[in-house]
Amino acid sequence: MMSARIPLVVATLSILLLSACTGTPEVREAAEVSSLDAQLPDTTETMPLDPNLPVILAYGDSLTAGHNVERDRSYPAQLQDRLRALGYGYQVVNHGNSGDTTAGGIARLEGALAVNPEIVVLAFGGNDGLQGRPIESMRGNLEAMINAFKNIDSQIVLAGITLPRNYGPDYIRDFENVYVELAEEHEVALIPFFLEGLVDLELLDAPDATLAESVRYMQSDGTHPTGEGYTIVAETVLDAISPYLSK
């Protein structure tokens, strides 16, 4: 099961996400106005790799790419800084592309495998859900990516995400369960909720608090973290990959 805190966090973020929505409960109609797919240029990192350093591959969509923040404020860049500060000799490759669904991840998989990552943080699915795509298709694509990285002996961390509450309890339940089930079946590590900690729940409950104060780590679109928010995401990822790190 996903963390019990997730519905409250997502309900709060949904206030922003749904500001442009029609209010309809139909998944596909909601998807038309609340999609991560921005049809942006490919932002995949192309800088040369150091052959002497093992690769940590950040593979995902706009939440990985760092949509609308400076490149050095994305979570992969901040994770790189944290690893260096802790004395770890790894290079973090940002292979995030804004707008990607899991099908987009499959389409780019050859390039991702080519960097021969020791560790992969696999963070796809948000766009599939927001577009109301079939759960089984999303699951199959994630599973194919997991298997491909396992075949080259990468350690995998699967990053879970959830959806605004107007997508309906059945679709949301099935969507969330994909991450939990795949992590169990393939014995890979799981981050239950990639954006955990980006809403200040205690402040949200304070009588004089405003929504803006409570979600200060999120951009105005209610979907993407700010640079400060990505600092939190980087710490979440660091905790998840720590068992696989060595000096």
Catalytic site residue from 62, 74, 98, 154: 62
Task: Give the whole-angstrom CA distance, residue 10 versus residue 15.
Answer: 9
Q: What secondary structure does DSSP assign to the chain, as a single string?
A: ---TTHHHHHHHHHHHHGGGS-----HHHHHHHS-S---PPP----PPP-TTS-EEEEEESHHHHTTTS-GGGSHHHHHHHHHHHTT---EEEEEE-TT--HHHHHHTHHHHHHT--SEEEEE--HHHHHTT--HHHHHHHHHHHHHHHHHTT-EEEEEP----GGG-HHHHHHHHHHHHHHHHHHT-EEES-TTTTSS-HHHHHSTT--HHHHTTTB-TTSSSB-HHHHHHHHHHHHHHHGGG---
62 is catalytic: yes
Catalytic site residue from 81, 174, 200, 221: 221
186 is catalytic: no
221 is catalytic: yes
Catalytic residue numbers?
62, 221, 224
